[in-house]
Amino acid sequence: MDPQIQDTVDAPPIRVPGQAEVYHGIRVINGLARPERPEASRPLTTMTTPPTRVPGRSRESIPPVSSMDHPSVHTNDSGLYSVRAVGMNLSNRVVIFWNRGKAKINGLLHIAPPRARAVHDSTCRLPHELTEMIIAHLIGDLHALKSFSLICREWYIAAVPHLHHTLTLRDTTPDKTHDKLKPVSKLHKLGLAPLTKEVRVIQPHRTADHWFEPQAFSRRDLHHFSAFTNVQTLTLKEVDIFRFMPDVGRYFGYFSPTLRSIVLALPCCTPRQLSSFLSLFSNLDDIYIYYPLHGSTEVVPDSEPVLFSSPKLGGRLELFDFFWDETFTDLANLCGGLRFRDIDLRNAAGYGLILQGACAGTLETLRFYMPTCEEFNVGSPSDSS
């Protein structure tokens, strides 16, 4: 035991008649006082306040308050000693033991006074970095991400940009065309449209069931589309682009300032219409075109291209089964050359223009595929002999 504290405990009590004093929950009237020990006047709360709970730490990990570390406990013990010394009556002793027991129970139950709550709130928050790490594992699982967002408001705020990152319009309801645009109005109503970074339009591989066409857009739908101010990627699968001509800007112009990447799978249009469509997006960097469909001239009317702006076209170009030289000739003339950094051409006749110097100063990565026998109709290797 610390000799200094031992000395203090063993010191004889001083009696102050007629003075009331609080001794750690023990109200002593005409009792003993220890004026030489300043810690003797500590209020009850210092003793009954449990140590602050830290989230993630078990109760056992919190170091107990020892009598050696906490002088008020000594005071309490010494108070009992002093009371015994002078022969206090029985009712006062009962009060002392009652209050002590209450304080111990409160301590065991960790009943904290209101002022400790502020400290508790600041320590219970999960660091934002950890929240982001959890979200990174859930991004592919929309259902789990939804559950995650329901935990608390803070987690909802962290998860909501990922929940609404991609808006997919597909043929979930075969009967009504306008129902397919319902997600657009729903996002607009909830004010979540600016969170959407990618819009996908997925149509079935049957021409008769195509629904994404100008007639599907009401004035309200067009207004709702205008709220999508942060769309960076547009994916259109089997969209008849020729149906939107020549007022294509009315339907897709909202994406023009922010769109960086466009993916067209089986687009149906003419080469000139395609160049017109691509020129709509002034900040376009990446182009992915797979299997473009040239509709017959009766169905798809061709016309002189209306070029809206000169896209940047400084990112990645990926063409599969693409033979429309006119498209990129128009764009190269419009932009004063092409500036793609990565090019991936598979069964695409892009060599004619692109590989003859259109991207000569900027091209960093070229993916080149070995040709196949079928590509040149030369038959199998065994036939050649």
Binding site residues, other proteins, CB under 8 A = 168, 170, 200, 202, 205, 235, 237, 263, 265-266, 288, 290-291, 293-294, 320-321, 323, 344, 346-347, 349, 351, 355-357, 359-378, 380-381, 384
**Token pair belonging to 152:** 């608390």
By C-beta, is 11 or 378 nearer to other proteins?
A: 378
Q: Whole-number minimum distance, CB 226 to other proteins, in Å?
A: 25
Q: Write down the least CB distance from residue 291 to other proteins, Å.
A: 6
Q: Put residue 239 in one of left, alpha, beta given phi > 0 → left and psi -120 to 50 → alpha.
A: beta
Tokens of 242: 């020729």
Least Å distance between CB 143 and other proteins? Answer: 15
* Closest separation in Å from C-beta 181 to other proteins: 17
Question: Are the CB atoms for 319 and 346 separated by under 8 Å?
Answer: yes
How far is CA 76 from each of CA 2, 10, 99, rounded to the nearest angstrom?
17, 13, 11
Smallest gap from residue 168 Cβ to other proteins (A): 6
CA distance 352 to 365: 18
Q: Which is nearer to other proteins, 303 or 365 (CB)?
A: 365
Residues 6+ apart with CB under 8 A from 64: none
Nearer to other proteins, 235 or 279 (CB): 235
> Between the CA of residue 213 and those of 209, 238, 244, what are the distances in Å?
11, 11, 7
**DSSP state letter for 344:** E
| Strands 32-33, 233-237: pairing kind | unpaired
* Of residues 209 and 247, the one with the C-beta less far from other proteins: 209
First vs last Cα of the chain: how many Å apart? Answer: 103
* Nearer residue to other proteins within complex by CB, 43 or 357: 357
3: cis peptide before it, omega within 30°?
no
Nearest-approach distance from CB 121 to other proteins, in angstroms: 37
- Name the token pair of 135: 């979200």
| Burial bucket for residue 129 (CB in 10 Å: 0-12, 13-18, 19+) | exposed
Q: Which of 66, 377 has the CB closer to other proteins?
A: 377
Nearer to other proteins, 49 or 329 (CB): 329
Q: Least distance in Å: CB of 283 to other proteins?
A: 20
What is the C-alpha separation between 271 and 292, in angstroms, rounded?
9
Residue whose CB is less far from other proteins, 18 or 361: 361
The CB-of-137 to other proteins minimum distance in angstroms stands at: 12
Q: Which is nearer to other proteins, 335 or 359 (CB)?
A: 359
C-alpha 346/C-alpha 274 separation (Å) is 19
Closer of 229 and 356 to other proteins (Cβ): 356
Closest contact distance (angstroms) between CB of 286 and other proteins is 10
- C-alpha distances (whole Å) from 195 to each of 157, 259, 295, 309 are 12, 14, 36, 26
Pairing of strands 26-29, 20-23: antiparallel
- How far is the CA of 151 from the CAs of 120, 135, 198, 382, in angstroms? 19, 13, 26, 65
Neighbours of 108 (CB within 10 A): 10
Q: How far is the CB of 375 from other proteins (least distance, A)?
A: 5
